Structure 1
C-alpha cells in the first residue's frame, strides 16, 4: 500500500496570499483543523493548523517590567487576547504558518507514512507528485487502511 492508494485527493487548501480569516472560515465550514498552503503553481509552501493560531493569539508579553514594556503599558500597546484574535484575522497566512513542513511523495509506502506521522507527532501529511500537491493523508487514513482487513 502506498500514499496514492490511501490519500484523499479532494484537498482543502489555502493560497499563500490569503488571510488567516479565510483559513478560519475553511476550518469552520469544513470541520478541519489544518490545511496546506500552496502557491499559484499548486506547490506546497507551508501548513497552518489550529495549533499555530492558538499559539499566536495565546502569546503573553514578558512579565519583566523593563523600560520598553512600561512605555507600551502607558500607551495601551499591551494587546489583550481578544485584540490579538481580532488583529490576526487580517494577517497574511504566511505570517504564522509553518514554512518547514513534512510531505510525502505519492508513491511513499504506508509503513514510512505511519513512521513519519508517529515520530513527528503530526496529524496530516500533504502528498506531492512532481512537487505539486495531489492529496493529503491523516493518521486516521493510515489506521483505517492498515486495519480494515484485519478486523
Structure 2
C-alpha cells in the first residue's frame, strides 16, 4: 500500500496557515478542524509544520499566544510522496517520533498522512488478509 492509496480514501484536504499567523490563530484552527497539526505554507511552499506538542512547549516556556508560527514551527519538515510505501511511513514515524507527514509532489502540497491513517490502513489490510485466509480455509477439502 502506498501514500496515494491512503489519500484516495481520506482525501487530500490539508489545513494550512502562513508563518505569520499567531499561536492563537493556530489553536483556533486546530480546535475548529479537530486536528493535531497544521502545515505552515508561505507562497504555496511548505515551510514548516506545527503540532499540539509545539504549542505546549511554547506556552510552557512562558511565551504567549501572540507569537507567530515562524517562532514555534518545525522548519525541517520531513515530507513524503504519493509513491512512498506505508511500511516506510510507519518506520519514519516511529524512528523520528512524528505523528504527521505532509505529502509533497514537485514542490506542491498534495495531502497529509497521520499516524492514525497509517494504523487504520494497516488494520484494514490485516482484516482483508484474515478474510482471505478464512475463505481459503473454508474451501480446503
Instruction: Note whether the superposition's TM-score is higher than 0.5.
Output: yes
Matched, 1:92 2:94: no
Q: Which residue of 2 aligns with 1:142?
A: 118
After TM superposition, the runs of 4+ consecutive aligned structure 1 residues lying more than 6 A away are none
User: What is the TM-score normalised by the length of structure 2?
Assistant: 0.81
Matching of residues 2-151 of structure 1 within 5 Å: 2-7=2-7, 8-41=11-44, 43-59=45-61, 84=63, 88-151=64-127
- d(CA) in 2 for partners of 1:150 and 1:20? 40
Larger helix percent: 2
Q: Name structure 1 gaps, 5 residues minimum.
A: 60-80
CA distance in 1, matches of 2:4, 2:42: 22
Tell me the matched-pair count: 124
Task: Name the CA distance, whole Å, in 2 between partners of 1:149 and 1:104.
Answer: 21
Give the RMSD, CA atoms, in angstroms.
Answer: 1.4
- Once the 2 structures are TM-superposed, how far is the Cα of residue 149 of structure 1 from its aligned partner? 3.5
- Structure 2, unaligned runs of 5 or more: 128-141
TM value normalised by structure 1: 0.76
Cα distance, 1:89 vs. partner?
Answer: 2.0
- Matched position secondary structure for 2:126: coil
1:71 — aligned with what? none
Q: What residue in structure 1 maps to residue 137 of structure 2?
A: none
1:93-119 CA distance string (max 9 Å, x none): 111111112110121111111110111
